[in-house]
Structure 1
Amino acid sequence: MKFGIHAGLWMDNWSDDPAPLFDRAARIGFDGVELSLLGVGPDQTARLRAAANAAGVALTCSTGLGPDADPSSADPAARARAQETLARAIETVAALGASGLAGVVAAPWGVFDPAAKTDRARRSAETLGRMQDHLAQHGVTLGIEALNRFESDLTSTAAETCAIARASGAANVGVLLDSFHMNIEEKDPPAALRAAGDALVHYHVSDNDRGVPGSGRYDFAADAQALAGIGYRGWIVAEMFVRAGRPTSADLNIWRDIEPDADAAAAQALAHMKTVFADVG
């Protein structure tokens, strides 16, 4: 099993250089670091890939689409921009030496139109399905993130998200499930994981307050059993947003410091992950 840490734990701005964080993550014991492409462009890939290799960590990536590049839009131009944006992201991921890209890719974060949800889901699936050739060409798998109701109305549950991934018809399109979002939306998170089955390509962990997994009330042991049951072999990445007053956490409404020390939070998270998920994969 591969254990990762999202670089956003330490970053004040998405434009900050993540390279110094690779050694930091490696010293703590993580296998890899997840980078947000919101601050990483093609001109940085060679340097960041070399830095990750030197630190001995693998990379995985996440991203998000804006309203002008909405794969679920009724506007064909917006859907075309979504494809162009995703194509560039896929190329960036491959250039970094990574194979996973996940995040807010079915519809833009914070855009709501529940009356048109059925048509939006259909268009999103069609748009993402058109990425299959590019994904396969570059050896990248795309994971659609299920987000809680305050962040998306289109992919709030694992079932909704899996439905879009499967309707895309693309072998390289699956889903990202996150314990923080499942804690809000799923009556039974382990059942949601089991139902996702082989559509699950990425898994994020943080506790119910978005802090250190194992420090709150979320049942990670039950998730671990579900992951083992479906034969999950992908990344388990701690995605914690715990520091107030940073642009990286402002959109997520982090108004107080949830954990007092980011390095300590990372170390505590990894210790819990290794204990609970030891038998997964």
Structure 2
Amino acid sequence: MKFGIHAGLWMARWTDEISPILKHVADLGYDGVEISLLGMTNEKAAATAGLIRDHGLEVTCSHGLSRDADITSADPAVQQAGLEHLRWAVRTCATLGSHGLAGVVYAPWGVFDPLKKADRTARSAHMLAKLDVDLADAGVTLGIEAINRFETDLVNTSAEAVTLARATGSDHIGALLDTFHLNIEEKDIATAITSAGDKLVHFHVSDNDRGVPGSGHVPWDVVQSSLKTMRYNGWIVAEMFVLAGNPASADLNIWRNIEPEAQGAAQQALQFMRRTFS
């Protein structure tokens, strides 16, 4: 099992310089860093890959889709734009040295059209299936993230994430589960985790307020025992957003400081993760 942390914890903007963040992550003793591809370019990816290696870190990636690159759209041109963007994201992961790409990769974040959910889901599965060869060639696994109802109407639960992943027919597509979202959407967190089975390819941790895991009311004994039952041995990544007052936090509706500062939150999170999951 490897422990990572999302670089967004330290970012005021998604385009912030990442070099000092990589030093923080390495100095704290994390195995790797998770990087959002928002604001990434081909040139920046190549340079960042060198920095990651220089700090002795591994890397995972997260990403999402925009409204003009929506693979659930009824417009074939918009669908194709989404597919090409995801293909770029897969190639960029390979450039960075990442074997994992996860997030809201199945529809734009914050878009809701529940009356057309079935059709949108079918189109999403159809387009994601087209990534199979790209993923295989790049050595990248795609994780479909189940997120809460206030951020999407398409994939809110573990069951929906797994169903969509299976509908693609790709062995390179699975599910990303996140304790923040599980805590909101699932009636039974243990069942949500264990029923994902071999489709669970990535795991995010934070507490119920997106702060330090172990500081709130997420049932960590249940989370730990469920992952142990599954013999999950992949990445566990702390994805925390804790400081208000900057554009990145506003994107995620962080309106008050959840923790006093980022560095201490990162240190406490790693201590908790090692104590709970090692």
**Which interval holds the TM-score relative to the shorter structure?**
over 0.9
Within a 5 Å distance, the mapping from 1:103-252 to structure 2 comes to 103-252=103-252
Q: Displacement of 1:39 after TM fit? A: 2.2
Worse-matched range after superposition: 178-187 or 243-252: 243-252
| Amino acid across the alignment from 1:171 | D
Output the CA distance in 2 between the equivalents of 1:57 and 1:23: 10
1 CA distance for matches of 2:165 and 2:4?
A: 24
Q: How big is the shift at 1:44?
A: 1.3
Quote the Cα distance in structure 2 between the aligned partners of 1:70 and 1:226.
Answer: 34
Q: CA separation in 2, counterparts of 1:23 and 1:197? A: 35
Hey, which bits of structure 1, 4+ residues long, moved more than 2 A? none
* Corresponding letter in the other structure for 2:238: A
Identical amino acids, percent of aligned pairs: 56
User: Would the aligned equivalents of 1:14 and 1:39 in 2 still touch at CA under 8 Å?
Assistant: yes
Q: Measure the CA separation in 2 of the matches of 1:257 and 1:29.
A: 25
In structure 1, distance between residues paired with 2:228 and 2:276: 11
1:199 to partner: Cα distance: 0.6
Structure 2: distance between partners of 1:24 and 1:232: 27
Contact 1:16/1:39 (8 A) holds in 2: no
Structure 2 residue runs of 5 or longer lacking an equivalent are none
Q: CA RMSD in A?
A: 0.8
User: How much does 1:129 deviate?
Assistant: 0.6
Given that 1:8 and 1:241 are in contact with CA atoms closer than 8 Å, whether structure 2 keeps it comes out as yes
Aligned equivalents of 1:276 and 1:20: distance in 2? 28
TM-score by length of structure 1 reads 0.97
Please give the secondary structure, in 1, of the residue aligned with 2:177.
strand
Corresponding residue SS for 2:265: helix
SS at match of 2:108: coil
Q: Residue type matched to 2:99 in 1?
A: S
Q: Distance in 2 between matches of 1:74 and 1:162?
A: 23
Distance 2:131 2:273 in 1: 33
Per mean C-alpha deviation after superposition, the further-off stretch among 15-24 and 96-105 is 15-24
Q: Which residue of 1 aligns with 2:16?
A: 16
Structure 1 position 58 matched with structure 2 position 49: no
Is the CA contact (8 Å cut-off) linking 1:221 and 1:277 kept in structure 2?
A: no
Structure 2 equivalent of residue 75 of structure 1: 75
Alignment partner, residue 44 of structure 2? 44
**TM-score, with normalisation over the residues of structure 2?**
0.98
Q: Matched residue of 1:94: which SS?
A: helix
* Offset from partner CA, 1:175-214 (integer Å, 9 cap, x none): 1110000100001112101010111111000000110000
Letter in 1 for 2:85: T
AA in 2 matched with 1:200: L
2:276, 2:22 → 1: CA distance? 24
For residues 6 and 206 of structure 1, the distance between their equivalents in structure 2, rounded to whole angstroms, comes to 11
Q: Deviations over 1:81-101 (max 9, x none)?
A: 111000000000000111100
Aligned length: 278
* 2:27 maps to 1:27: yes
Whole-angstrom distance in 1 between the partners of 2:235 and 2:129: 23
Displacement of 1:29 in angstroms is 1.1
What is the CA-CA distance between 1:221 and the residue it aligns to?
2.1
2:163 counterpart SS class: helix
Distance 2:39 2:230 in 1: 34
